[in-house]
Structure 1
């Protein structure tokens, strides 16, 4: 008996010893992992909401909010806050519903659909947040430049408008880049794991 045959026999013995998972067991493992990932997405969105709310409270208690009101921007600031919190609360609810749906999933096909929906929701959340932040920064600058007397007196005469607009655009791009990097690190890792689970489910369906 040559070495190749001995190796084949050894492999067969190892296969007999190794535990063989059934279709249902593999599915349950993937379901559990996916449910855990979506739960973390939901938890992180809540933490993000708490972070922004905390910054808003600090902003008000340090007296900066009063300064904004002096600049005739109280209403503008209020509208921005309402819109930002509305977006956050809407997606927190969406993430929670996605989590509950995955928990209650009872078939591979439905689980795959729920994974796709969750990843799509995360993408929408990221793009809408980044777009809203960019629009808010630019609109705030335009409002301050053309609709507040204090800003016109302090900056409008001494500094050219094009320089203010250009500076705002650069600062906005930097902040959007930092936020996008944060989202990519946090949500990106979780969505990639969901994608991996999806591919494993595809193999089960073959």
Structure 2
């Protein structure tokens, strides 16, 4: 049982003569916990931006993007990189604004609304990131498979049919995306579930 549950139990079932916890005290506790969770969502999104940016720089410096340039995908690579950074920065700003809004909340009703908005923003962030990565990777694989000789040359060198290389590539990408979804659900899911619990506690206070 966490601290909030103990406070609620004390508030409802305290003995006579003991100091009573008011509605406002319970509300402030929920507000503090919610604000902390949203702050961590913002911090994690910043760390994620730094991580993906670092990986992108390392991959470019190592020359792994050279193959895309050879096959005429340099422009597409630049476009998707700019778009992915824009998406990350947009949601970082959204998370920060959600944090600021919750910090300045002065009523349970508004706090409930801000919690719902934060959970909605997190879900959008996760699925837009996953969808963007999946679509971008699929386009690159299909382009290289049907509009270049990349997969045909590999199949010749390795004595493996081109279609098998394509299927293997798609399976590897699907596994990677699946692991990424699980990671997102683990990291952001824990925080959003706690926010949901706070929302339910606020509903009880409002009854």
For structure 1, the 5+ residue unaligned runs are: 1-13
Please give the per-residue CA displacement for 1:150-205, whole angstroms capped at 9, x wherever unaligned: 45433479543432332122112101111011111110000011011101101110
Retained in 2: the 8 A contact 1:145–1:156? no
Paired with 1:26 and 1:72, the residues of 2 have a C-alpha distance of 60
Q: Tell me the secondary structure at the aligned position of residue 20 of structure 1.
A: coil
Paired with 2:115 and 2:161, the residues of 1 have a C-alpha distance of 50
TM-score normalised by length of structure 2: 0.85
Residue 198 in structure 1 maps to residue 199 in structure 2: yes
Q: Tell me the secondary structure at the aligned position of residue 16 of structure 1.
A: coil
RMSD: 1.9
Within-5 A mapping of 1:7-156: 15-16=15-16, 18-155=18-155
User: How many aligned positions are there?
Assistant: 193
Paired with 1:51 and 1:182, the residues of 2 have a C-alpha distance of 14
Once structures 1 and 2 are overlaid, which stretch shifts more, 158-167 or 120-129?
158-167
Paired with 1:199 and 1:87, the residues of 2 have a C-alpha distance of 31
TM-score normalised by length of structure 1: 0.86
Paired with 1:63 and 1:72, the residues of 2 have a C-alpha distance of 15
Paired with 1:18 and 1:85, the residues of 2 have a C-alpha distance of 55
For structure 2, the 5+ residue unaligned runs are: 1-13
